[in-house]
Structure formats: C-alpha cells, structure tokens
Amino acid sequence: MSYQSPEYNAANIFARILRGELPCYKVYEDAHTIAFMDIMPQADGHTLVVPKEGAPDILTLSPEAAAAAIHTTQRIARAVNKAFAPDGLLVTQFNGEAAGQTVAHIHFHVLPRYTDQSFRRHAREQQQAEVLKEHADRLIAALSELSD
Ligand code: 5GP
C-alpha cells in the first residue's frame, strides 16, 4: 500500500509554535508562512520554513499555500547564502516517517552545505540558545538586505 497522509493533529510542535504556545528563533513571517531556526541544526544556519496552513505533508497542502511556501523558501535560501556563505544550498522536505519526517506539519529545510564539512545528525543535538539567536540575527540582517 502506498503512503497515506495522516490526519492533521494540531498538537504537533510546529502548530504550537505557530500559535505562540512555544518559543522559536523566528527570522521571517508573512500571512502564509513563518521561518525559524531548527533547534537541532544539521549545519549552522539550518532554517525551517513552515506554512501556516494546517497540513501534515506535501500531498495535503493547498496549491496556494505550496506556492507561498516555495516563495518563502527561496527567500530564506537567498538569506542563508548571504549570511553563511556556503559552497552550496540544500532544500529538503520529508513526507512520512519512512521518509524521515519527525514533525507532522509540513515544512521545508534550508541547509547550507560546505565541501569540507559533513552534516550533524538529523534532529539529534540541540544547539545552544545564544548560538541560535546569533544565527537568527545574521539571517534577519541578510533578509533586510534582499531586494525582493
Ligand atoms: P523533519 O524530520 O520532520 O523533516 O524535521 C523536523 C525538524 O524540526 C528537525 O530538523 C528537528 O531538528 C526540528 N525540531 C524538532 N523540534 C523542534 C522545536 O521544538 N523547535 C525547532 N525550532 N525545531 C525543532
């Protein structure tokens, strides 16, 4: 049997962040999306783009919310490139536990990549608060310098 999207559960951690019940290091927000630092970054500058629409995955997200999410993901990728000067940029999005998804509210990862550095493990090691804050501040500054 193929992958089946789960029912959306509004108790998930990103829904709680969206409702303001949990804190995050926010770098960007508009009517349809929010972007904040991954608390267990696989690389410095690892940022998450989260649509505000309550959908667990890419299959259930509306086309309008998907378009907004990609627009914000592009904006964040430009800011990560400016702020962290990586050799490359990786954008990922997981659907279902078999694909590696651990939070069942759709999101896009934006990850800087360096030729001489491997990733830290996925969702394993929490970064120090002051480091996440400093990285968020760098991204906010880079975003303010983007033209679009
Ligand atoms: P997924 O595996 O679902 O694609 O990715 C979920 C991501 O969310 C992981 O990279 C993990 O480090 C991150 N994450 C998990 N819990 C929290 C949290 O409470 N706050 C933030 N900012 N990120 C989280």
Catalytic residue among 46, 105, 107, 109: 107
The pair of three-digit structure tokens given for residue 128, joined into one six-digit string: 């120090």
Q: Please give the pLDDT value at position 13.
A: 98
CATH number of the CATH domain containing 85: 3.30.428.10
Is the pTM value of this prediction over 0.85? yes
Q: Are the C-beta atoms of 110 and 88 separated by less than 8 Å?
A: no
Range of the domain at 139: 13-145
Pocket around ligand 1: residues whose beta carbon is below 6 Å from it? 13, 24, 36-40, 94, 100-103, 122-123
Surface-to-core class of residue 144, CB atoms within 10 Å of its CB (0-12 exposed, 13-18 middle, 19+ buried): exposed
- From 37, 48, 73, 133, the mutation candidate for ligand 1 (largest count of ligand atoms within 8 A of CB) is 48
Report the DSSP beta bridge partners of residue 89: 112
Q: Please give the pLDDT value at position 76.
A: 98
- Domain count for the chain, please give it: 1
Q: Are the C-beta atoms of 109 and 38 separated by less than 8 Å?
A: yes
Q: How high is the mean pLDDT in each 10-residue block of the chain (148 residues)?
A: 96 98 98 98 97 98 98 98 98 97 98 93 92 98 92
Q: Does a structural domain hold residue 6?
A: no
The CB density around residue 107, as the number of other CB atoms within 10 Å, is 23
